[in-house]
Amino acid sequence: MLVSGILLVASSVLFNNSTDSSSIALIVLTSLVFASSLLLTVISQPKLNSFYGPLIFPVGDQIQIHWWTRKPVKTQLSLNGQVVESNNEPSCFHNYHVPNSSFQAAVVDPHTNTAHSISYDPPEIITDFIVTSDHHGNSKYSSRLGADYQLHLIGGDISDFGTPGEFCKTFKNFHTRPIIMAIGNHDTRGDIDHIINRQTYYQKFGSIGVFVLYVFQRPTYIHDPALISSVFSWLRQAIQTDDKHKFIMVHAPVYSTGLFGSTKLFTTQMEQFLDEHENERIRAVFQGHDHVFCSFKRKNVYVMTNATCGGDLVSPMRRKFDQTRWRQKELHGPLESNNDRRIGWEHHLDSWLIRSKTEVHIGDKITYTIRDLDTMQVKATYEQEID
């Protein structure tokens, strides 16, 4: 669209200097290109809902109840049947922090006068949670996630351009479980601090600990040595918890068979960290970004990239990109690597181009079930011995 706009300006200049038929034809052509680009941009953007939420975000030792309204308004939250003030000034972003204990909450959408409610009962033991990534402002598959889980981990790129409307679209289908989110590179294109106000952080939830890493600079996917160094310095201190099960979540891939792959700088530091902390009960590293499901196992730690949970449906351009970037139908077993962006392929287990979710069950063993969101078929199951 920017290019066509430049052409339109240039053609206007030409028109001022000449009124022959070729100049007029150029103006008409560039105007049509500009209008078409603008129309495609508008069509590809998700439709804006008037309201989303309430959503539940664990934040430290509290729970943040969060909701969004299309226009700045004052809203009231009912907590266990009692009305509490949620904001003193009109706003689009609304949140309220409560202790991590059982509650029932409700808030009214002022645009439709519809009440939305949610119940929360904190689990002491986590036995089931799911992992998704790369929603890119699309809600089609969120209705297929079910409700038979205690926690939802999202590996970044909830949005495509970091706009509130895309978050509304992603969370269109009511979420009834707590959510822990990482920041993806697409999320940094807009103002997301009202929704994801933490970058690198530790979140304890029930019997597990989640360590969320942010290892690239806004707004593009660029690894920064100083940032990565500081993240791992933090992680070496943060990992020393008494959690029985520890999971690391990061948008950038450690290992991946996708188009973008990994970077030697980040991967080698993660490998070094995992080797240093073999006895720290680190079970898995969950990642996103590459829009292809792939799994690796290094020693007893699983490294898994979730395929998109709807990202390729955002626009025709993205759909074409995702369909053409993956050349192999399936990959299984160890692979050969010959460049710095294809690191750790000797640890490779499986790869498919699917829209996926990862279901994690913690019992005597940890079971990772990979489900295709198009067919709801199980594509792979991995078991992990735990100490």
pLDDT tens-place string over residues 95-148: 899 999 999 999 988 878 888 889 999 999 999 999 999 988 888 888 888 888
Are the C-beta atoms of residues 25 and 61 closer than 8 Å to each other? no
Domain with CATH 2.60.40 in the chain: 63-120
CA angle, residues 235, 236, 237, in degrees to nearest 5: 90
Residue 3 has what pLDDT? 41
Backbone angles phi, psi at 190, to 5 degrees: -130, -165
Residue 18 has what pLDDT? 43
Residue 48 has what pLDDT? 53
Residue 44 has what pLDDT? 43
Range of lowest pLDDT (229-243, 252-266, 359-373): 252-266
pLDDT category, 370, cuts 50, 70, 90?
very high
Domain with CATH 3.60.21.10 in the chain: 124-385
Range of lowest pLDDT (127-141, 186-200, 242-256, 362-376): 186-200
Query: How far apart are alpha carbons 105 and 107 in whole angstroms?
Result: 7
Are the C-beta atoms of residues 154 and 181 closer than 8 Å to each other? yes
pLDDT category, 41, cuts 50, 70, 90?
very low
Stated pTM of the model: 0.84
Range of lowest pLDDT (5-9, 188-192, 313-317): 5-9
Backbone angles phi, psi at 204, to 5 degrees: -85, 135
Tokens of 192: 């997301």
**pLDDT for 59 beyond 70:** yes
Mean pLDDT (whole number) for 83-106: 88
Residue 38 has what pLDDT? 44
Cβ contacts of residue 302 below 8 Å, gap of 6+? 283, 284, 285, 295, 296, 368, 382, 384
pLDDT category, 320, cuts 50, 70, 90?
low
Query: How far apart are alpha carbons 142 and 99 in whole angstroms?
Result: 27
Mean pLDDT score of the chain = 82
Span 124-385: which CATH code?
A: 3.60.21.10
Strands of the 348-352 sheet, one edge to the other: 201-205, 208-213, 245-250, 282-287, 301-305, 293-298, 348-352, 330-332
Cβ contacts of residue 284 below 8 Å, gap of 6+? 247, 248, 301, 302, 303, 304, 360, 366, 368, 384
Instruction: Find the farthest-apart pair of alpha carbons in the chain and give their distance in angstroms, rounded.
Output: 81
**pLDDT for 165 beyond 80:** no
Topology classification of domain 63-120: Immunoglobulin-like (2.60.40)
Residue 5 has what pLDDT? 43
Residue 19 has what pLDDT? 47
pLDDT category, 218, cuts 50, 70, 90?
low
Please state the length of the chain.
Answer: 387
Identify the residue with better confidence: 74 or 294.
294
pLDDT tens-place string over residues 4-20: 444 343 444 433 444 45
